[in-house]
Amino acid sequence: MAVAARQGRATASPLTSSPVATTTTARPGFLGGWLSRIPLPKWALIAVAVAVAVLLLLFLICIIRCCCCKKKPKKKERVSLHTVGNSTMASLVQPEMEDLERAAEQTGRGKLQYSLEYNFRAQELKVGVKQAAELKAMDSGGTSDPYVIVYLTSDMKKRYETKVYRKTLNPVFNENFAFQVPQAEVPDSTLVMQIYDFNRFAKHDIIGEVRLPLASVNLQHVIEQWSDLVAASKVEEEQLGEICFSLRYVPSTSKLTVLILEAKKLKRMDSHGLSDPFVKVHLILNRKKWKKKKTSVKKNTLSPYFNEAFVFEVPFNQIQNVDVVISVWDHDKVTKNEPIGKLFLGCRATGKQLRHWSDMLSNPRRPLAQWHSLQPPDVVDKALGLKSHLKLPLPHR
C-alpha cells in the first residue's frame, strides 16, 4: 500500500509539474533570468542601453556622410573655384565673355606687309605699303575692295591713301609715302595703317589696322615686316600740344600777372610740317570778353619759347567772376590765323585748370607755373558760353 502510494505520487508529479516546466523554458523568463545575473540596478541598465543606441545612430550618420562625399566630388571642386581670390587664376579657369569676344574680333582679319626707313639728314620717314594677305571678306560675294590709309598720330591732318583694288583678299599695293618728322618728335609718334573696304554707295568699312609706336622701332636700319591686322581702336583725340604759364595775383594792388613761358608738341599747321605759333590771353568777365593781349610770333617751330608777361588790373571783388582764356594760334600772312588749341582757368573751370586757379588764389603774391594740355577751340568756347564779343570797361571798386 505504501508502494502504491509512492507510485501514485510519482505518476501525479509530472502532471502537476508540467505547467511549471513550460513557464521556465519561455523567452521572457530566460531574458529576465539573464538580466537578474547582472549586478546592476534597472536604471543603470536603461542608461547603458540608451548610450549604445546613441552610438549606433552616430555611426550610421557618419557612414551616410562619407558615402555622399565620395559620390559628389565635382561639386566640391566647383565651389573651390569660386573661392579663388586671385584674378589671374580665375581668368585662366573661366575667362570672361568680354575677353572671348575681344579675342574673336582680333583674329581672322588678315595681315599687312610694310617697310620703314628714316632719313636722319632730311628728317623724313618713308613708309612703304607692300601688300596684304588673307583679308577678311566684307562683301556678300566673299571678297573685298581694299585700300590703305596711312598717317601719324602726331600729325593726323596729313593722311595718305593707296589705290583701291577690286574683289581681292590678297592685294599688292607697292606704294610709298613720306612724312616730315623731326628726330626729337619721333619717339612721340605712332604710325597707323588702316585697311578699308571700299563701298560705292555706303560708308567704307574698316577691315583692321596696324599701329606701330615709333619709339619701339630701331630706325637705324630699313625695316620690312609682316604684322597681323587687329580691330581698329576708337577714334583718338588729336594731340594739340601743351603750354606752360605762370599765374600771380596780388589782392592789395589788384594785379593779375600771366607769364607765358613755353609750349611743346604743338599741332602741325603748315604744309612743311611746322607752325608759326603765338599766344593770346583773354580776360572774360561775367561771360563777356573784357581784355586781351598776345605774344610775339615764333617762326617755324612746334616748341616755341616766349617768356612774356602780361599784367591785368582785376579788382578783388571781381576775381571770382573772371575767366582767363589761353589760346595758341598759327600765324599766316596770306590767310586767316588758325587756332591750334585753347584752355581756360577760373572758378568755372575743372580739373588741372581749376586746381591751378585755386592755388593762385590761396597763395597771393606768389607766381605758380604749371603745364596744361590744349583742348579743341570749339569745346572751350562751348564751355565758356560767351554772351557777347564786346569789350567792357573796368568796373569801379
Asked if the domains at 108-229 and 242-384 fall in one CATH topology, the answer is: yes
Number of neighbours of residue 332 by Cβ within 10 angstroms? 13
Reported pTM: 0.47
Domain boundaries, the chain: 108-229, 242-384
Residues 389, 124: Cα–Cα separation, whole Å: 43
CATH 2.60.40.150 fits 242-384, yes or no: yes
Query: pLDDT tens across 296-350, in order?
Result: 999 989 899 999 999 999 998 888 889 999 999 998 887 888 899 999 998 888 8
* pLDDT at site 390: 43
* pLDDT at site 147: 94
Nearest to 145 by CA among 99, 185, 97, 197: 197
* pLDDT at site 156: 74
Which residues of the chain are under the pLDDT cut of 70?
1-40, 67-107, 234-238, 271-273, 386-397
* pLDDT at site 239: 76
* pLDDT at site 96: 53
Could you tell me how many residues make up the chain? 397
Tell me phi and psi for residue 237, to 5 degrees. Answer: -75, 135
* pLDDT at site 76: 41
Question: At the fourth CATH level, which superfamily is domain 108-229?
Answer: C2 domain (2.60.40.150)
288 Cβ contact partners less than 8 Å away, ≥ 6 residues apart = 386, 387, 388, 390, 392
